[in-house]
Amino acid sequence: MKIEQTVFLTQQMSLPKIIELIVENEHFQCEITVKKERKVCNGKSLLGLVSFLLFLKVGDEYQIIADGRDAKIAVNHWCKRTRNIKERNKKVERFYFN
């Protein structure tokens, strides 16, 4: 099954967070691809994903595409994982700024 989801970059990801995401992506059997316009990369490749995420600006939209048996789970995981990063940062902002 092939699943495609449009997502937004809510903040730049640090290298350790990108590595964590890649390690987690390796557990899925499906192929994972991320793309924006003509820029396409393998979602399980460190070099590819780092260069892709550095290419994006906060607020840019991009697509995650997963193709395989566990594609839906992989896309949901990606969306949840990137959302969790945003939520953690909101908690820190509330602690320091409110």
Report pLDDT for 86. 43
The reported pTM is 0.78
Which pLDDT tens digit goes with each residue over 14-60? 888 889 999 999 999 999 999 999 999 999 999 999 889 888 888 88
Summarize the confidence of residues 74-79 as an average pLDDT.
91
Q: Taking a C-beta distance cutoff of 8 angstroms, is the pair 39, 78 a contact?
A: no
Unique residue bearing structure tokens 């945003």:
86
More confident residue, 81 or 26: 26
Q: Where are the domains of the chain?
A: 2-97
Query: pLDDT at residue 98 above 80?
Result: no
Q: Which of the four pLDDT bands, split at 50, 70 and 90, describes residue 74?
A: very high
Report pLDDT for 55. 82
Report pLDDT for 88. 42
Percent of the chain having pLDDT more than 90? 48
What CATH number belongs to 2-97? 3.30.1340.10
